[in-house]
Amino acid sequence: MDTAEKFDDKAPGNAKLADQIEGEQAMDETIRYPDQTVGTPYVDNPKMRMRDVEVFYGEKQAIHGVSLDIGKNEVVALIGPSGCGKSTFLRCLNRMNDTIDICQVKGNLHLEDQDLYDPKLDVVELRARVGMVFQKPNPFPKSIYDNVAYGPRIHGLANKKYDLDEIVETSLQKAGLWNEVKDRLHSPGTGLSGGQQQRLCIARTIAVSPEVVLMDEPCSALDPIATAKIEELIAELSQSYTIAIVTHSMQQAARVSNRTAYFHLGRLVEMNDTDTVFTKPEHDLTEAYITGRFG
């Protein structure tokens, strides 16, 4: 399996990655991990509450005791160097990691009162409440209309054609795509531009009225204009949804989020108001990463 290889240091292609991590650790000699996350990882009445999350890929531990809250209607950005575990952590939030056999998640993860890892929980239902937008736009090879209507159909959210039409229209409007596609709803979604495809995927995600939207580097494959549109959209969406976004672009994290979490080698080093993180981070590791002194 792909992921198994990815975390096996002995695999020939990964010698470089191992070197890099060792190099980083060597450089970090003078910077120490905090005993616990610095800043304000917790909020009152959180939408999602994660405590002592640990993730293993086989023997290899990818996340070490991460605890944080995501507030209602908050945009939380997860940043950190490659391989720091930010995407892995994000994928725990709607059990995307279930699809990886060797991946094991420990700790307490709650969406309001719902234990995310309750064995009785219906994962499909969970993913309707916690939607996800991926790095590469991945519209289904169907029409624009069917892409958006897919979720509501399988979840039985609309009984009549009229209701479905309305859901499709509102979702596309919320995703800022309606005006561009209203005259060609039945042409294939794959025929749209990259930025439009990504907004289509966002429309598809919000069509099932999720409470939380997870975004895994949603703009990394897009040009600056399309990126600006998605960022605008994130601000808009945060009025109705709670959003967690993983991004490699620190400027993007700075622009869109209320709070920023900095991950480093599987640990949550600091979580603070985004303003604080980008002007006066509390921890030296955050400072070093934000200012581009490593990473």
Partner 1 sequence: MDRMHFGEHSSSQFNEALESIRNNLMEMGGLVEKQVVDALQALLQADSALAEKVMETEDKVDKLEMLIDEECTKVLALRQPAASDLRLIIAVTKAVSDLERIGDESAKIARMGQQLAEEGESPRGYVEVRHIGNHVRNMLRDTLDAFARFDAKKALEVAAEDKEVDLEYRSAMRSLVTFMMEDPRSISRVLNIIWSLRALERIGDHARNIGEQVIYLVEGKDVRHISVDEIEAKLKK
Residue ranges binding partner 1 (CB under 8 A): 30-31, 250-251, 254, 277-281, 284, 286-288, 290-295
Report the residue number, 149 or 245, with the smaller CB distance to partner 1: 245
* Look-up of token digits 């995310």: 116
Q: Token pair 């009152």 is at which residue?
A: 44
For residue 204, count other CB atoms closer than 10 A to its CB. Answer: 27
Q: Return the structure tokens found at 265.
A: 């080698």
Q: Which backbone phi and psi does 34 adopt, to 5 degrees?
A: -70, 150
Rounded to the nearest whole angstrom, what is the least distance from the CB of residue 291 to partner 1 in the complex?
5
We find the least distance from the C-beta atom of residue 281 to partner 1, in angstroms, to be 5
Comparing CB distances to partner 1, the nearer of 173 and 251 is 251
Nearest to partner 1 of 147, 286 (CB atom): 286
How far is C-alpha 161 from the chain's CA centre?
32
Question: In this structure, are residues 146 and 184 in contact, taking their beta carbons and an 8 Å threshold?
Answer: no
Element (H, E) at 229: helix 224-237
Q: What are phi and psi of 32, to 5 degrees?
A: -105, 145
Closest CB 77 distance from partner 1, rounded Å: 13
d(CA 97, CA 213) in angstroms, rounded, equals 16
Nearer to partner 1, 71 or 81 (CB): 81
- The least distance separating partner 1 from the CB of residue 6, rounded to whole angstroms, comes to 24
- Measured from the CB atom, the residue of 97 and 272 that comes closer to partner 1 is 272
Nearer residue to partner 1 within complex by CB, 98 or 223: 223
Tell the smallest beta-carbon distance from residue 294 to partner 1 (Å): 6
Q: How far apart are CA 110 and CA 47, in angstroms?
A: 8
What is the closest distance, in whole angstroms, from the C-beta atom of residue 282 to partner 1 in the complex? Answer: 10
Give the rounded distance of the alpha carbon of 95 from its chain centre. Answer: 12
